[in-house]
Amino acid sequence: MRFFTLCLIAMVAGVASAQLAPGIYIPDSSAFSATNPGKRTLFYNQTGVFQSNFIGPNNTNLNTPVQAVATADGNGLLITDQIADNIQRYDASGAFQGVWASGLDNVRGITRAADGFYYAAVAGSTANGGSRIEKFDFSGNSLGAATTNVVSPWGITQLRNGDFLVSSSNATSTATVRRFSSNWIFLGDFVTDYRFTQQIVEARNGNIIIAVFSLNGPGGTGVFEFSPTGIPLFKYDMDGARGVTELADGRLLATAGTNIRLFDRFVATGVDVAGLNGGTASSSFRMIYNHPVPEPGILAALGLGAAALARRRAKKSSK
């Protein structure tokens, strides 16, 4: 109970601060040069149109950023860094605020679950804790491994029914996407033989969409759409796919190294949009975070909470 109370206080207090803009955040982990704007995080609006570099270019704190997710108070981003072995915090303007969590050998994807906790995919060596899903509170304190029943985990998503799906970057393992209950009980493999799976999203129609990086599988590399039970339905052409998200209009936005591509639903070929954001042949686009527009009811509740908090502070200052 105390944890959720603290979360609510953090969110209410955050109403008075700058909030993270709704939209799409994509890290670019390529090396910065005179011709390549690397070490950054790009910002797109929710129709897939590039807006600006949210972080960078040439951010000296970033080494190999992989995925972003909003902070608990909604005032910034957390970004995993695979080579720096940490998770960094940035405010709503993109300014670096410090290291949120560290000592995470080969950290990759991250998500915030319905229980309020964060879960990060860590593919560390045996000496550094091994492959696991690490659990964190909203301040970045590690709460230990939620599960170690994973093989070189990469992406994590929580489905609307509470279950988790975890992808794997092990190109030789058949357990490429595993399913877990909301309390991390292993439920079985969701799909097998799709090698080096990365980001997973649940579409609004309940289908599961997975970015597959490697050629070494039955369908090769690309973005694959599956039924809710794991039956393959469609393949979108995207060699070396890493990230994917569903836009508000139902189209898909996907990343693959040097490409960012828009797909109409169930149309195999897409339209590249990477050239619109200063991307070059050396860009290295990663997984996607789609920050939603807050529900009006949530905003109203937080607004009332902020007002109550202000009254409480005013009473204290008058004593």
Can you give the pLDDT of all 319 residues of the chain as single tens digits? Answer: 554 445 545 554 445 579 999 999 999 999 888 778 889 999 999 888 888 899 988 899 999 999 999 999 999 999 999 999 999 999 999 999 999 999 999 999 999 999 999 999 999 888 899 999 999 999 999 999 999 999 899 999 999 999 999 999 875 666 689 999 999 999 999 998 888 999 999 999 999 999 999 877 777 899 999 999 999 999 999 999 999 999 999 999 999 988 899 999 999 999 998 755 555 667 899 999 999 987 655 444 445 554 555 555 555 555 5
Beta bridge partners of 26: 42
pLDDT attached to residue 300: 47
Q: How far apart are CA 129 and CA 291, in angstroms?
A: 31
Selection from 291, 305, 297 nearest residue 90 by Cα: 291
Q: How far apart are CA 286 and CA 282, in angstroms?
A: 13
Q: Are strands 96-102 and 107-112 parallel, antiparallel or unpaired?
A: unpaired
One-letter amino acid identity for 298? I
Q: How far apart are CA 244 and CA 197, in angstroms?
A: 11
- Within the chain, all domains assigned CATH 2.120.10.30 are found at 20-293
Fold of 20-293: Neuraminidase (2.120.10)
The first and second tokens of residue 129, run together, are: 């804790």
